[in-house]
Amino acid sequence: MAITVEDSIHEPKGNPLEKINAQFHRLYQVEKAKAVTSINDGEVMLICRIDSRLIVKEGSRVKEYVINDEHYQSLKAMSHATLAVYYQLRHSVDETTVYQVKKWV
C-alpha cells in the first residue's frame, strides 16, 4: 500500500488563512535552510537521540555515543519482568499461563 503525502501548503482552500499558511511555509523553508547551513558549517552543534545512541554533528564531524548499553538493556528487561507477569496473569490464569510464568521466574 503506497501512501502519498498530500500538499497542505495551500490549505484551507478558499479561506483567508490559505495565504497566511502558504507564507508560513515559504518563510519556514528559508529559516530551515539557514539552520541546516549553520549545522553543516559547524556554527551549531546538533545532538539527536536515535535508538540507544546519541549522534552529535558539528560541521563535518559526526560522532556516535552509545548511551543504552547491554547492561542498561538487561536492567530495563528486568524491570519489565514484573509487569510482564502481571499482564500475563491478568488475562489468563490457566495452567499454560501459570507454567509460562513459573518458567520466567
Confidence of residue 44 (pLDDT cuts 50, 70, 90): very high
Percent of residues, the chain, with pLDDT higher than 70: 100
Nearest CA to 24 out of 14, 11, 15 is that of: 11
Write the CB contacts of 65 (distance below 8 Å, at least 6 apart in sequence).
Answer: 53, 54, 56
The model's pTM is: 0.54
Q: Give whole-number Cα distances, 71 to 54, 76, 77, in Å.
A: 17, 9, 10
- Give the single-character DSSP code of 6: P
Say what the pLDDT of residue 39 is: 94
Q: What pLDDT score was predicted for residue 35?
A: 95
